[in-house]
Amino acid sequence: MELCEFTEGRAKIEVPKFEKVTAKTPVFYNPKMEFSRDISVSVMKTLKIKDQGKVLDGLSGSGIRGIRYMLESGTEVFFNDHNPVAVSLIEKNLKLNSLEATVTKSDFNHIYGKFEVVDIDPFGSPVRFLDGAFRLLKNNSYLFLTATDTSALTGAHKDSCRRKYDAIPLKSSFTHELAVRILIGKVVRNAAKYNFALRPILSYTKEHFIRAYFEIKYGKEKTNNALNNIGFALNCKCGYRRLTNEFNPDCPFCRQKVSFSHPLWISKIKDREFVSSCVKEYEALDFLGKKPLELLKTVENEIDAPLFYDIHELTHIYKTKIPKTEEMIKRLKEIGFNASATHFSSVSVKTDAEINDVLRCLDG
C-alpha cells in the first residue's frame, strides 16, 4: 500500500495515497475536515479534559483526530476502528508523532469502559452509534458527533430522515438550521432512555456536514426538562416561522395553513459563554486555520433567536428591493429588536422580531 504524508495542526500522518476522497479507500482521510478538527481542538481545550480525562476517538480512521487532541490539547485518547488496516496505521501514526496510546480493533458498539468524552465521526449518520455511545458515557461527560447525511436531515431524502431520525424534515429557507435541530432532537430523545439529559454547547453546519457537541448530565428530572425542548418548527408562505411545542396549523398572521417539521430541538443550539471560551482558546493556538475561527466567531455572535429570515426570500414574496444583511440588522435594532447575522446563511438575519416587524425593515 503506497502511503503519502500530510501535516495538519501539530500532527504528521501517513495515509494511503488517494486520487479523490471516498469511503472506499483502505483507510479514510479527508483533508477538508481539518476545518472540523481545528474547531474540535479548541472545544477540547475549553473543556480542560486533561490527563485525568479519557477521550474516545471511537471511529478513528487514520487517527488524525485523536492524535491532534493529544498533541494540541494534552488529553489522553483511546483510539478505535473496526478496520484492521486503520488500526495498524493509527499505531504507525502515533509513533510518527512520538505518542503512546491504546488502540483497539472493535465494533464501536462493543467497546467497553467509561469516558469523559466520546467522539463519533462516522461516514453518514451517527444514529447507529448513539446507543453504544451512551453506554460509554456518564454524569458530567461530553458527546461530540458529526453527521454527513445532510441530504436526509435537510429533507432532500425525506424517507431517510424518517427512518434514521424519526422526524419529518421540511424544505425551507432555514432548512439547514432545521437539520441541526432534527439531529440534536434525535440525540436528546435517544439519551433520555438512559436518564441522560443532554444540552448542546456548540453546533454548526458547514457544506456537507453538521457537528454538534453535548454536555451530559444524569438524572430523571433533568432528562424530563431536556425533553420539554422537543417540539415543532412551523413555516408559512407569508414568512411567519416559529419553534414551539404547541402545534397550531393556522398562521396567526395570514390564516393560511402552515407546514411543519417535527420532532426537533426548539431550545438554544449553543452556549454562548462556552463558544466565547472556544474562540479565546482558538485564538491562542496560532497554527489553527483562519476560516474555522471566522465561523466560530459568527456562531458566538448569533443571537439565540429561533430560526432566521432569508432576506432574498422575503423580497421575492413581497416584491421589494434587497437590502444588505447588515442594513437589515441595523434597521431591526433601530426599531427595538435584537438581531444578528447567522452562519447558516449570509443573506439572512436572526431576530426576535416577528414577520410583521421584519417586513417593516424591507425597502419599500
Ligand X SMILES: C[S@@+](CC[C@H](N)C(=O)[O-])C[C@H]1O[C@@H](n2cnc3c(N)ncnc32)[C@H](O)[C@@H]1O
Binding-site members are: 37, 65, 81, 107, 236, 238, 251, 254
Could you tell which of Zn ion, ligand X, none binds residue 254, using a CB distance below 5 to 8 A set by kind? Zn ion
Contact between 61 and ligand X per CB under 6 A = yes
What is the distance between the alpha carbons of residues 41 and 50, in angstroms, rounded to a whole number?
Answer: 13
CA angle 309, 152, 162 (to 5 degrees): 105
Site for ligand X (CB under 6 A): which residue of 41, 43, 55, 59? 59
Alpha helices in the chain (DSSP H): 34-47, 64-73, 84-96, 130-136, 150-153, 158-165, 175-192, 220-227, 272-284, 290-301, 311-318, 325-334, 355-360
Name the residue among 189, 191, 147 with its Cα closest to residue 167: 189
Give the amino acid at 324.
Answer: K
- In whole angstroms, the minimum distance from the beta carbon of 66 to ligand X comes to 8
- In whole angstroms, the minimum distance from the beta carbon of 255 to Zn ion comes to 7
Contact between 254 and Zn ion per CB under 5 A = yes
Q: Which of residues 92-111 bind ligand X (CB under 6 A)?
A: 107-108
Cell, residue 4: 503519502
- In whole angstroms, the minimum distance from the beta carbon of 358 to Zn ion comes to 13
Using the minimum distance from each CB to Zn ion, give the nearer residue, 31 or 249.
Answer: 249
Cell, residue 110: 462493543
What is the distance between the alpha carbons of residues 170 and 56, in angstroms, rounded to a whole number?
Answer: 34
Contact between 234 and Zn ion per CB under 5 A = no
A 10 A CB-CB count for 318 gives: 12
Could you tell which of ligand X, Zn ion, none binds residue 62, using a CB distance below 5 to 8 A set by kind? ligand X
Name the helix (H) or strand (E) containing 103. Answer: strand 103-104
Q: Which of residues 66-95 bind ligand X (CB under 6 A)?
A: 81-83, 86
What is the distance between the alpha carbons of residues 309 and 353, in angstroms, rounded to a whole number?
Answer: 10
Cβ atoms 345, 295 nearer than 8 A: no
Using the minimum distance from each CB to Zn ion, give the nearer residue, 124 or 252.
Answer: 252
Binding residues for Zn(2+): 236, 238, 251, 254
Contact between 6 and Zn ion per CB under 5 A = no
**Could you tell me which residues come within 8 angstroms of residue 207 by beta carbon, excluding any fewer than 6 positions away?**
none
The stretch among 119-127, 157-165, 252-260, 303-311 that binds ligand X (CB under 6 A) is 119-127
Could you tell which of ligand X, Zn ion, none binds residue 107, using a CB distance below 5 to 8 A set by kind? ligand X
Using the minimum distance from each CB to ligand X, give the nearer residue, 33 or 94.
Answer: 33
Contact between 123 and ligand X per CB under 6 A = yes
Is the alpha carbon torsion for 158, 164, 168, 172 positive or negative? negative
Q: Distance from first CA to last CA of the chain, Å, rounded?
A: 64
Q: Which of residues 166-205 bind ligand X (CB under 6 A)?
A: none
Contact between 314 and Zn ion per CB under 5 A = no
Could you tell which of ligand X, Zn ion, none binds residue 238, using a CB distance below 5 to 8 A set by kind? Zn ion
Could you tell which of ligand X, Zn ion, none binds residue 81, using a CB distance below 5 to 8 A set by kind? ligand X
- In whole angstroms, the minimum distance from the beta carbon of 101 to ligand X comes to 14
Where on the chain is the footprint of Zn ion (CB under 5 A)?
Answer: 236, 238, 240, 251, 253-254, 256
The residue ranges that bind ligand X (CB under 6 A) are 28-29, 33, 59-62, 64-65, 81-83, 86, 107-108, 121-123
